Amino acid sequence: MATLLRRSWRGVQQSFMIMRPNNASHTLVDSSRYASSSHKSAIFTSVGALCSTAALLAAWQSQVVSDEAHSQAEVSHKSALKPNEWISFKLAETIKVSANTNIYRFTFSDNEKLGLEVASCLLTRAQIGHKSDGKPNYVIRPYTPISPPDSRGYFDLMVKIYPQGKMSSHIGSLKPGDTLEVKGPISKILYKPNMKKNIGMIAGGTGITPMLQIIDAIVNNKDDLTKVSLIYANISPEDILLKEKLDVLAAKNPNFKVYYTVDKPTSDWNGGSGYITKDMVLKGMPTPSDDTLILVCGPPGMMNHISGDKAPDKTQGELSGLLKEIGYSKDMVYKF
């Protein structure tokens, strides 16, 4: 955490920090990683409203001191998660990243790590109403953390809120201090450095979350030479989640490139327009080969168009759509 904070502070000219006074350990966030440009001003305003530069500095300094003391203390390698037990995690902070999507930071003891494999997700559970027999009705949904897999003391979920969605609107209603029940992790594809020479990713909306886990694992490991290309589809430029983070990663890492397409382009938009086409896949994805893996994650309509959706029993199902048409085989494609 100290490293994260030092990096945040050093980058303060490009970054903004958000502070809430009640939980100093987990409330300083390098929001340039998260905020789309349209929301920067809102975040900046809230920073101004919440704290002065002096208060930020004091909080940051006390955090570094406590982290240094902490690093000298016994640090457990225990995971905060349990695969078979629902554990309540406290919400510390919410950050708006687009009109309908927020990042939620949940916290636990700094002595524990999250302990995820890349790539994996978590299950969330909430009691929403009652069944006809009067027993509690539980809603369970998976979400993919976008924080580092070994983060100590916190994890971040990026959740799109559907007004009629049971779990997403429940998460959307949480206030700092409220808790959410979580169980996991649930392993998806097990990523190993250099397991393939080329990885292509096709994501829509919040389908970016599992891709981010893998992109971060690759670019943070200098021995991993995998080339990654991402096609990321959204409704409008405003809806592109974590665009600044993706752009910075692409600028800094020659082995990562990203191409955006939006259904509703603005007049100054210079990415792709409309749904993902065969031409975009041909130009943007590595060619079919034993050394190629294509990862797909997005809403059902996009999945059907690109690769066919997963089977009803959640196994991979048959490959269809554009990827099949272009000549990829089932074993070259993974559907999240």
Ligand X SMILES: Cc1cc2nc3c(=O)[nH]c(=O)nc-3n(C[C@H](O)[C@H](O)[C@H](O)COP(=O)(O)OP(=O)(O)OC[C@H]3O[C@@H](n4cnc5c(N)ncnc54)[C@H](O)[C@@H]3O)c2cc1C
Residue numbers of the site for ligand X (CB under 6 A)?
Answer: 121, 139, 141-144, 158-160, 162, 164-168, 206, 209, 299, 336
Confirm whether residue 136 is marked as ligand binding: no
> Do strands 227-234 and 198-204 pair parallel, antiparallel, or not at all (unpaired)?
parallel
In 3D space, the residue among 25, 41, 158 whose CA is nearest the CA of residue 16 turns out to be 41
Cβ of residue 143: shortest distance to ligand X, in angstroms? 4
How far is it, in rounded angstroms, from Cα 147 to Cα 216?
Answer: 9
Closer residue to ligand X, CB minimum distance, 199 or 203: 203
Structure tokens at 112: 């524990």
Judge whether 7 is annotated as a binding position.
no
Q: Which of 211, 216, 109 is nearest to 154 (CA)?
A: 109
Give the residue with the Cβ less far from ligand X, 130 or 278.
130
Structure tokens at 193: 């450095």
Residue 205 C-beta: closest distance to ligand X, Å: 7
Judged on CB neighbours under 10 Å (0-12, 13-18, 19+), 79 is: middle
CB nearer to ligand X: pick between 25 and 206: 206
CA 78 – CA 80 distance, rounded (Å)? 6
Which CB, 5 or 240, lies closer to ligand X? 240
Distance of closest approach, residue 211 Cβ to ligand X, in angstroms: 10
Q: For residue 141, say whether it is annotated as part of any ligand binding site.
A: yes
Work out how close the CB of 156 gets to ligand X at its nearest, in angstroms, rounded to a whole number.
10
Distances (CA, A) of 204 to 188, 240, 245, 295: 18, 9, 16, 12
Query: Is 120 labelled a binding residue?
Result: no
CA distance 110 to 78: 10
Shortest distance in whole angstroms from residue 239 CB to ligand X: 13
261 is in an annotated binding site: no
d(CA 60, CA 66): 10
Residue 73 main-chain phi, psi, to 5 deg: -80, 170
**At its nearest, how many Å lie between ligand X and the CB of residue 122?**
9
Decide whether 141 or 227 has the Cβ nearer to ligand X. Answer: 141
Cβ distance 144 to 213 under 8 Å? yes
Nearer to ligand X, 141 or 330 (CB): 141
209 is in an annotated binding site: yes
- Binding site residue list for FAD: 141-143, 160, 166-168, 209
- Binding site residue list: 141-143, 160, 166-168, 209
